[in-house]
Amino acid sequence: MEIYGVKSLNGDIRVPGDKSISHRSAIISSISGKKVIIENYLFSQDCINTIEILRNLGVKIENIDNNLMIHGVKTANMIEPRGVLDVGNSGTAIRLIAGVLASTDFMSILSGDVSINNRPMKRIIDPLRSMGASIYGRDNNKKAPLVIFGNKKLQGKRFEFSLSSAQLKSCILLAAINAEGVTEIIQPETSRDHTERMLQYFGADIEFDGKYTRLDPSKGLEARNIYVPGDISSAAFIIVATLILKNSHTLIRDVGVNPTRNHFLEILKKMGANIEIKNIRTISNEPVADIETFSSDLTSVEIEKQWIPNIIDEIPVLAVAASRANGKTIIEGAGELRNKESDRISALSTQLKIIGVDIREQKDGFEITGNSNSDIIGGTVDSMGDHRIAMSLAILSLLSKNSTTILDSDCIDTSFPGFKYILKKLMA
């Protein structure tokens, strides 16, 4: 991708469906045992891989006018796949589907690309084993590929974790929905609750408050149609671009504003961002709203560690905002960034520096000295195959007086197909 600086962004748009909710909508619909129609599903590469895996497990899935029709089969009626189930680059897919496969009655193998097969899997292997699953991984059961021998008699358990992770929590819940007895999960900090909300929407007997979740599987699931709201993590890139470019104004419609996902908006407002949340309503048990953003003068703020799990996917683009906010921004307690599609701490620190950001890498974060008047010099940067790094570099490059070339930018389609088209539309 080659980007030249622009004067402003203006327009009224929608962003693609939420990636986290899309994954969950396909998976939970598939185990519901009934037909479900999913509107606004995200047809990114990650979410397409999830569909193909479910098809390989015997689930009939149709694409009708860009909506999905899923004929749920329940976990007990899934079939043994003939080959390896490939999640591509999706950590969400491999961890959530592992939870489903743990309660089948056959063997399956989950694998992904080089990045996925080097990400930590012990965090799901150990709890699934404690519920009665037989699951094995590479590197002494620490990494994928995962070999799973399903057990239809999993046992519900009480878990207390030192790490807050929505993927870990969701993996256990998707195993627990077919287990015997109640499962409880306690985490130190609030993490995303899309799985809990969707299970509740499907009639499950579930309680949750962000840190504590309790699931009684005896009630089962009732199929319901789903609307997937726009992805707030994708909207974040357009919001920050609007803030840092002069004379800019954008309206993004129908965005999911789940309270476990939207804290980055509060951080931006504390930095001085002029952002308005309008037309709030609830669709398919998820809060949805329109987000209006105006050019703003930003100043640095302290980002508390307790909010890191809530903003983990937005930290790359928050780093872009921090680079234009006068003062010093310190982000720490974000070591999980080193286990994403790339080592995002290293990638942000090296690549943002190339195009003119004063950034220093730390063990579990980084320090940015922002200056709204500093020059973005452009040049050649590398996304490291990471969609959020690529888009963050693209947003900051909109300020450059020279061209910026972003290597390996095709990875953007992992989460935000149409990103380039929307930027061009807003530039016009």
Position 306 pLDDT exceeds 90: no
Task: Find the DSSP H helices in 274-386.
Answer: 308-311, 315-323, 344-354
Q: Which residues contact 64 (CB under 8 A, 6 or more apart)?
A: none
414 has pLDDT over 90: no
Residue count of the chain, please give it: 428
Mind listing the pLDDT tens digit for each residue in 243-255?
Answer: 999 999 999 999 9
| Region 2-16+229-427: CATH code | 3.65.10.10
Q: What is the tens place of the pLDDT at every residue in 355-374?
A: 999 999 999 999 999 998 88
Average pLDDT along the chain: 95
- Give the pLDDT of residue 164: 87
- Report the DSSP beta bridge partners of residue 214: 184, 207
Q: Distance between CA atoms of 331 and 329, rounded to whole angstroms?
A: 7
| Per-residue pLDDT at 428 exceeds 80 | no
pLDDT band at 339 (very low <50, low <70, confident <90, very high): confident
Per-residue pLDDT reduced to its tens digit, 259-305: 999 999 999 999 999 999 999 999 999 999 999 999 999 999 988 88
- What integer pLDDT is reported at residue 163 of this predicted model? 85
pLDDT tens figures, 55-84: 999 999 999 988 999 999 999 999 999 999
pLDDT digit string, tens, across residues 3-56: 988 999 999 999 999 999 999 999 999 999 999 999 999 999 999 999 999 999
pLDDT bracket for residue 176 (50, 70, 90): very high
Of the candidates 366, 369, 365, the one whose C-alpha atom is nearest the C-alpha of residue 357 is: 369
Please answer whether residues 175 and 131 qualify as being in contact, where contact means their C-beta atoms are separated by less than 8 angstroms.
Answer: yes
User: What's the CA angle centered on 24, arms 22 and 27, to 5 degrees?
Assistant: 110
| Domain 19-224 architecture | Alpha-beta prism (3.65)
Q: Is the pLDDT of residue 156 over 80?
A: yes
Please indicate whether the domains covering 2-16+229-427 and 19-224 agree at the CATH topology level: yes
Strands, E assignment, 179-307: 183-186, 205-208, 212-216, 226-227, 249-256, 274-283, 286-294
Contact 187/123 with Cβ under 8 angstroms? no
Distance CA 405, CA 368 (A): 23
What is the structure's pLDDT at 336?
Answer: 87
How confident is the model at residue 22, as a pLDDT? 97
Q: Is 182 helix (H, G, I), strand (E, B) or coil?
A: coil
In this predicted structure, what is the pLDDT of residue 341?
85
CA 392 to chain CA centroid, Å, is 15
Predicted local confidence at residue 74, as pLDDT: 93
pLDDT at 309 over 90: no
Q: Residue 212 above 90 pLDDT?
A: yes
Q: How confident is the model at residue 120 (pLDDT cuts 50, 70, 90)?
A: very high
Q: What pLDDT score was predicted for residue 405?
A: 96
Catalytic residues: 313
Domain boundaries, the chain: 2-16+229-427, 19-224
Confidence of residue 225 (pLDDT cuts 50, 70, 90): very high
